[in-house]
Structure 1
């Protein structure tokens, strides 16, 4: 089983102590976000094959990565770095720190452990298409030779996304939109070309309607964010035995992720990003982080 930690919250940035305690215990209870019984997820072999970590800040998590590797469990880090202004990402670390962390990850654990996410692409008058092209090109230049893939996607506008974005727009005085499909395709094609020009593979996360000719002729290709093949590459690079086998079992249309179990909880990430799909009310997520006890069995309690 591949363990995802977590696309529901940023465990490396905010819950490293909790994760290390659960790792020592060898399992974690996961609350069902849709109701129903908890799930018990193993965090050690042979039931656990490896980890995919999702984060914007690895500084609190370096000891946890070292411990996971010491237990001979391969991992991949999906690291989001966009360079957005504070009005959109009020509590995210600086671009410089993010770049330094990605380079350290690769230096310490190998190039296949790192996947950069320029995700989501968010259309505002603070971040128009020209801004995205310029910012993305700058980040590509900085990361070329360190990472080999960049995952793209446009922001998905759910009801909670719209509500939180409207509040932030009123507070900070910006305008935003969900662009037409063809405009999204054009920008994604431009970003893909910039990535390829520096040797990075551009991929698109779970938005098949935005693919152009399957990603074969200039646009990004479909992403496999939870990638058993990449985890297997990491295992081999570390001298571990055996390939990781997991069937493709996407979470939504167009998702090509391998089957996994996510151990996070919604409404617990205090980064406060305006476009976030995982938090209904940023203030409640911040309040949860303040009262969080690292000894609890499951996140969200």
Structure 2
């Protein structure tokens, strides 16, 4: 079993104390976000093949990574660095700090342990296509030799997060758009070429209609990469969670509406105030990261 920690929230940045306690206990209890019975997920022992972390700030969890490394448990870190203006990402670390952290992790644990995510590509008056070309090129140059893959996606504004985006746009005075697929695909191909210039493979997360030259389908829960880190085979069946997803089967231990980074386009947060409140109310000693949904 591969443990995902977590595409629903940023556990390394905000919930590393809870993660340490759950590793000590050897399990976590994960409420079903759609109702139903909670799951008890093992976090140690022969059933655990490795961990995949998702974060914008891994520094609070460095000791967790070291612990897994010393125990021979392989892990990957999907590290999102976009360098967008604060109007779009109100509470993320500065890009330079995140880049330094990626290089530090790659030096300590090897470049196969870290995947850079420039995700999502968001079209707005603050981040037009020219912004992405220049910004992405600078970030990729800074990460040359530290990572060998960058994962991209075109922003998809879901109904539940549209309100956040529109409220932020009105408050900060920017506009945003959802371009046609041809425009999205053209920019993604350009970014893939810039990545190749820096020795990186560009992959695209669960958007097969936008694939083009230089882009490969992403496998974010990547059992092959995890096996490379482990130095041994890891068998996991492909079990994507949406069309075009090529991820290996995993168990996610996070919870929605619990990440207070404040990214206007985030699919995992429908109410940003609720996410802030969730962090304030969080109990690091609890078996669950977030309470079970009401009713």
TM-score over 0.5 (shorter chain): yes
Q: Provide the C-alpha distance between the structure 2 equivalents of 1:289 and 1:5, rounded to a whole number of angstroms.
A: 16
Q: Secondary structure at the match of 1:124?
A: coil
SS at the partner of 2:286? Answer: coil
- Mark the runs of 5 or more structure 2 residues left unpaired by the alignment: none
1:282 aligns with 2:272: yes
Tell me which residue corresponds to 1:226.
221
CA distance in 1, matches of 2:254, 2:66: 20
* Distance apart, 1:288 and its partner CA: 1.0
Cα drift, residue 71 of structure 1: 2.2
The answer on whether the counterparts of 1:12 and 1:55 sit within 8 Å (CA) in structure 2 is: yes
Cα distance in 2 for residues equivalent to 1:153 and 1:68: 29
1:263 to 253, 256, 259: 253
Aligned to 2:167: 167
Which structure 1 residue ranges, 4+ long, deviate > 4 Å from structure 2? none
Is the partner of 1:152 in helix, strand or coil?
A: strand
Give the total of aligned pairs.
291
Counterpart in the other structure of 2:182: 182
Aligned counterpart, 1:293: 283
Partner of 1:106: 106
The 2-side partners of 1:179 and 1:161 are apart by 17
Provide the C-alpha distance between the structure 2 equivalents of 1:69 and 1:195, rounded to a whole number of angstroms: 29
Distance across 2 between alignment mates of 1:105 and 1:251:
28
- Provide the C-alpha distance between the structure 2 equivalents of 1:85 and 1:206, rounded to a whole number of angstroms: 25
Q: Tell me whether 249-258 or 157-166 shows the greater mean CA deviation.
A: 157-166
Would you say 1:35 and 2:35 are equivalent positions? yes
Tell me the secondary structure at the aligned position of residue 242 of structure 2: coil
- Gap runs ≥5 in structure 1: 213-217, 237-241
Residue of 231, 238, 242 corresponding to 1:252: 242
Cα RMSD between the aligned structures? 0.7
- String of CA shifts for 1:224-267, please: whole Å, max 9, x gaps: 0000000010011xxxxx31110111010000000000000000
Indicate if the aligned counterparts of 1:188 and 1:219 stay in contact, CA closer than 8 A. no
Q: Aligned residue for 2:145?
A: 145
Residue 83 of structure 1 aligns to a residue whose secondary structure is coil
Helix, strand or coil: the match of 2:260? coil
Quote how far apart the aligned CAs of 1:157 are: 1.3
In the aligned structure 2, how far is the partner of 1:26 from the partner of 1:299?
Answer: 14
What is the CA deviation profile of residues 153-190 of structure 1, one whole-angstrom value per residue up to 9, with x for unaligned ones? 01111012211000000110000001100000100010
Q: 1:235 and 2:226 equivalent?
A: no
Residue equivalent to 2:210: 210
Task: Tell me, in whole angstroms, the C-alpha distance in 1 between the residues paired with 2:169 and 2:181.
Answer: 23
1:44 equivalent in structure 2: 44
Deviation at 1:68, TM superposition (A): 1.6
